[in-house]
A and B are shown apart, each in its own frame.
Chain A
Amino acid sequence: MSKVPYEVYTEEVEALSVLSPDGEIINKDKLPKLTDDQLKEIMYRMVFTRTWDDRAVNLGRQGRLGFYAPVSGQEATMIGSEYALQKEDFIAPGYRDIPQIVWHGLPLYQAFLYSRGHQHGGQVPDGVNVLMPQIIIGAQILHAMGIAMGFKLKKQKQVAITYTGDGGSSEGDFYEGLNYAGVYKLPVIFFVQNNGYAITTPFSKQTAALSIAHKAVAAGIKGVKIDGMDVLAVIKAVQEAAERGRNGEGATLIEAVTYRFRPHSLSDDASKYRSKEEEGEWNAKDPIARFAKYLEKKGLWTEEDTARVKEEAKAKVNEEIKKAEKTEKMTISGLIDSMFESTPKHLEEQKADFK
């Protein structure tokens, strides 16, 4: 009888980087093909998103937004991964992944409405392929898997991408989604933004695996780990994963190692579980500063450009929050009517209690 070689894959996976912290190209083979205009557009979106995040935190403190999960530090993973997609591709986001769905077509004022607890926030316009943000940590992983099966059944060359964090990678739904995607060879990208903390729980207490990317092995899909503070590495990895999906080669799990500069949410104090040293180390890897150095060396970006985009972003955010604030409030009868396609009699009767 031949001996079955039981081997466990335990080698460390090195994270793909394209740019050094100084903005030098260190991995020429993995440099995504992008025009100068595209590079500038990516930078524009990252600076815009950072400004919007700063503003959103203030709006949250003023009580003009509801639940809001800060994104600063994660601009490379969010902007880069969305930029690598086509408009027809589908995004199933987690609660923090608002920038991806906005850059994919959800109007910004609707993102604010979502935060303010208005259902119009999730009323995605026709032709925009996104779901509203998901609160249950792993549920969207399964939706993306189902959406990807839809693309496959319709023989459309689109992909679905879904996001969760290092904490989300511990959910049962994460494993079920990866496993189904492997079995059915689905065009789906599982994008894990490993920002080191699930609210306060550090990565070391989340899993004994050497990386989240390793978890792809068990599902029979491709797993890669990337430097999540390097927007070019993110774009390259998602482009490759999308191409694999479109070519019928199945799913990819991407682990992007990143950091959220702010706490998990506005009601949480990060100083209780993170050290100043750690925050300093990650600040030095700021994805916007790193990409700016690269663009400045190419003569494509200046500090004035950053200042201009910030002003534009502030004006746009003000305009959109006002639009959100002016949107007619939800009503109980509207809420009742949104339960079913046609409102059953007992619910019609219940409306009378709120007149």
Chain B
Amino acid sequence: MDISNLIDLLYLVSIIVFIIGLKGLSHPETARKGNRVAALGMGMAIVISLFAPETSGSNNYPWIIGAMLIGGGIGFVSSKKVAMTKMPEMVSLFNGLGGACAMLIGIAEFGNLPQGTDMMSGAVLTNIFAMFVGAVSLTGSLVAYGKLNGSLRDNFTLPAPQIINLVSLVGIIALSVMIMTQPELNMALVYALLGLSLFYGIAFVTPIGGGDMPVVISLLNSVTGIGATGAGLIYGNNIMIIGGILVGASGVILTVMMCEAMNRSLVNVLIGNLGASGGGSGSGREEIVKEVNIADLAIQLKYADKVAIVPGYGLAVAQAQHICHEIEAALESEGVEVRYAIHPVAGRMPGHMNVLLAESDVDYDKLLELEPANSSFPSTDVVLVIGANDVVNPSAKDDSASPIYGMPILDVETAKNVVVFKRGMSTGYAGVQNPLFFGDKTKMLFGDAKASLGKLKDEIANA
């Protein structure tokens, strides 16, 4: 057996390990193992690529090892330090770095084309492809990162984004054709293409509202996978091609599934009308909200049979889930049944809230998904809505003018009493007013969620 066949065989084994890992990641019981198996596959593939024989070049191992230690170290430390609430931002940032790598490979390989290479060749096309896709993923992910952590505001947009996007895309295709029809390599055109691709990533993500960012991140993740495939085509390396395309294809599916969870189409998300058309709906007339005081609420809770908590991102950011968990424990000891009703898109990403609650030791069995939660509300005495706005907004059901119309929501108004914890009367992430606040059974508890919950906990202990 010749050595290059052996290498290909070893790569094949690592591909199989990858696939098993990814498969495991898609089921709750096997997810942890799946992640480790996928990491093992990656480790194997990297080791193989380090030792596979190369016919030319001088290996330059010190450079490789140095870069791996630095990158690996930064990755490891930042993954330990990042707060659970910051996960979506982190994923987006990591993703952009992967894209950057594909882009750099594309640029470097342009420089390495041998003298007299036919520009109209697969080699040039794959270079262009890896560079373009990588660049879009890099800047797009950075914009998504900025929007999620608040350093870029939602109203940071370009004028007429659809036209700019279209023109950039046409420009990118034109430049690619120009590069390929030149008699020899024209680096000026390559840099122009690079610049335009970087710009396109920005132009593509900026018009999209912050609430849709998770969908965009998932899509960009898919794009990075395709970039890795492009780089794999440059080297005819099967594991990069297959690994990249697995991520690309699964990313598209995941993106579509996330859109379905919000009952929105992908096109709708990409054109970016949520976020942009904020505050339009909502009634003009003065409406009255009722406030509740904490002592009354404490007593009401103690004498309730069933209480449901609807947590939102506001709760997690304030790190109030720990106090929430203590209140839950205090009420349980009084014989009150406490459950959490989790909307699929609560938090910043689908499933993000489950992660955040699990972090503060909330029992997994107490988390209700959308449908069981909705069927339990009519028999629930008190629902506490904490820092969640859009996911309990009845406009999604009855106001076709509302930007969130059609999104499945938690029907908290079917419960006997609703208490909304809120800082003020501001609108939520989607920027729409919530008629729930003016409902007959609704009372408001204004103030910082963490402080309010702290006081509530004391009152429950005293009452």
Asked if A and B bind, the verdict is: no
